[in-house]
Amino acid sequence: MPRGRYSLHDPHDHTPLGEEHFQCAPGPSGWRYVSRITTPSGDDAGSVDLALDELGRPIRLELHAASWQVRGAALDGVTWVRTDPTGTHATEGNVRAHAFTGTSPAFLIATARLLRLAPGSPATRVRLVAFTDPVLASRTLDQSWALVKSEAHATDNGALVVDEYQVGALDTGEQHTVHIAGDVVLSAPGIELEELESPPSVFPTE
């Protein structure tokens, strides 16, 4: 069960946004990721709890940030409920999308797991619902994902396969690179892996 810490920063000006302390593991029904997020000063800034089924679909999502809360799942596309800080009002959303996304590295793992791309295959288009900090406002976006290459790197614990993805925003044309090993993000815009207590888990091959 990988356990570690990501540092989060603004991908444009590199302003520190905080840290995400996480643990994750594949299980009999899929994969689960839980984390707590702290500000640069160490204060609590929220949490992520994401569970995927064996096909990579989100069967449960729970986000907390700035007293706001979102609960969601794959249902008729994706469906979610967002609750305001007072808890007196809740708004429900539903979009014909494939999955969720956001600032957490968990969503990059989840999208890669959902798409299961082959190296060198054409880019795949995916529609996602993003929740933006700090109030977890939702917006729908389209991305293109391509697995550029997979390379094995020798480590003390055996070979570590690193996947390099090219991810593009279809509305702006902006592209960036994401490196993933198993169920851990090694690097991505705004994300750096700072600590990892055990090797990444390897998803079973179909």
Per-residue pLDDT tens for 132-191?
988 999 999 999 999 999 998 887 777 789 999 999 999 999 999 999 999 999 999 999
> What's the pTM?
0.95
| Long-range contacts formed by 170-173: CB under 8 A, 24+ apart | 170/125, 170/141, 170/142, 170/143, 170/144, 171/141, 171/142
Per-residue pLDDT at 156: 75
Beta strand pairing status for 16-27 and 44-52? unpaired
- 176's enclosing H/E stretch is strand 175-181
Per-residue pLDDT tens for 16-45?
999 999 999 987 789 999 999 999 999 999
Per-residue pLDDT at 89: 82
pLDDT confidence band for 205 (50 / 70 / 90): low
Per-residue pLDDT at 193: 96
- Nearest of 128, 129, 131 to residue 70 by alpha carbon: 131
Question: Is the distance from CB of 83 to CB of 153 less than 8 angstroms?
Answer: no
Task: Give the Cα separation of 5 and 19 in Å (integer).
Answer: 7
Per-residue pLDDT at 144: 98
Average of per-residue pLDDT values in the chain: 93
In degrees, rounded to 5, the angle at the alpha carbon of residue 76 between the alpha carbons of residues 90 and 105 is 70
Q: Is the pLDDT of residue 98 over 90?
A: yes
Q: Is the pLDDT of residue 63 over 70?
A: yes
